[in-house]
Structure 1
């Protein structure tokens, strides 16, 4: 998709990325009524010298969700995707840089191949929250995606969690969630009403490490 500003992307796109961005907008307008409050409140900082929330979005695509997070939360966001997607991500990040900066946010771009430990290490360890939207689709990528999530979430200090917006399309997706629940606690943060012609709406899931998974990390994460 060609570069554009955040408002235009939001108005044009009717997909999951905008639904996820809309939840962020609700949080900004009225945190007390936002489905994201329970998670984001864990990262709330106070004081003028407080650090910004550090977010990594995986499988960013156009980058609309991460850009919206940077503007809405005044956060430091890194958009990631395959190396061949990076130039388009940079284009969209630059197109929205001034709008994001007005709200105290900042957007960066970095390559991230799922399952590659070196790519995760290159991102650095200063991450509070991991975001994704519509990333569970190709079955052959389930294990790679879960390995990346293990690398990013397990064995880390603090309250790092993963928020993912997902629209169920195929029965095979249950395989991903079955595997994920062996490593993470997975709960539903929010579920949108179904759109016309659909039986289910977009669901926002929260993944966070089980206590036993911290021990598994040391021996299993690189297998």
Structure 2
């Protein structure tokens, strides 16, 4: 059966889709010099009846903007907590939550966090201890967003730490360590020169078993934009068992939607 990775057509590789609360494409306002203004966007988490606020800095680059796959993961996390989701993702999260010691919180690592929306949402919906990571130049905005949501995170019993992580860099990976139950990411398969560093990082993180030898899981939400994305998945499937957990219906005007994958290290 054909998969998204097998499709040879390019999916508009440069279009940025910024969505508001109603799912409509968001128009950017600009400063006099043409740069996009900083934006504070609020995301209502229905299951906890609270809001997460995220600052975007569009003029700073892709890492400072919200991508569609992040919204998908937040929606799934929200649905899991409110028992509205019976998806394989919900099953995975339930197994992780029930598999630890009594009273032990989930430890979650997010790769390529960007604005930090997914990691912050994981902390508030799962009451987890989350570490959000990205390149060093992204860290200040990540810290801003973590601090902006500190109260709601604390009320839900979670924590969010911020750390730099350059994929494939041994020093950074050793500092981060492997003591995580779950690894998350959204829209990180974009630049092909980062495919191999990302895979190296995943090998480091998933090779060590969690909680008495259980296999760790990497959950990645991805919206395909390039036909060359298939090269990443071909490499990944040699090292990990990869399955689709969830697929969004395509937005109007698009042929595909966000797909959520689970990666587990092979024996």
Q: CA deviation at 1:183?
A: 0.3
Separation of aligned partners in 2, 1:166 and 1:43: 22
Which has the greater radius of gyration? 2
Q: TM-score, structure 1 length as denominator?
A: 0.87
1:189 aligns with 2:245: yes
Structure with the higher fraction of residues in helix conformation: 1
Secondary structure at 2:233 match in 1: helix
Q: TM-score, structure 2 length as denominator?
A: 0.73
Q: CA deviation at 1:101?
A: 1.2
Q: Closer, same or farther in 2 for the Cα pair 1:71/1:183, shift >3 Å?
A: same
Which residues of structure 2 form unaligned runs of 5+?
1-37, 44-50, 57-65
1:139 aligns with 2:195: no
Which residues of structure 1 form unaligned runs of 5+?
212-223
Question: Deviation string for 1:152-198 (max 9, x for gaps)?
Answer: 10143323110000011111000000000000000000001111011
Count of equivalent residues: 210
Is the 1:187–1:205 contact (alpha carbons within 8 Å) kept by the matching residues of 2? yes
Q: Closer, same or farther in 2 for the Cα pair 1:44/1:63, shift >3 Å?
A: same
C-alpha RMSD of the superposition = 2.2
Residue 66 of structure 1 is aligned with which of 104, 119, 131? 119
Is the 2:113–2:132 contact (alpha carbons within 8 Å) kept by the matching residues of 1? yes
Is the 1:3–1:91 contact (alpha carbons within 8 Å) kept by the matching residues of 2? no
Secondary structure at 1:131 match in 2: strand
Residue 151 of structure 1 is aligned with which of 195, 201, 204? 204
The residue aligned with 1:54 is: 107
Residue 265 of structure 2 is aligned with which of 206, 209, 215? 209
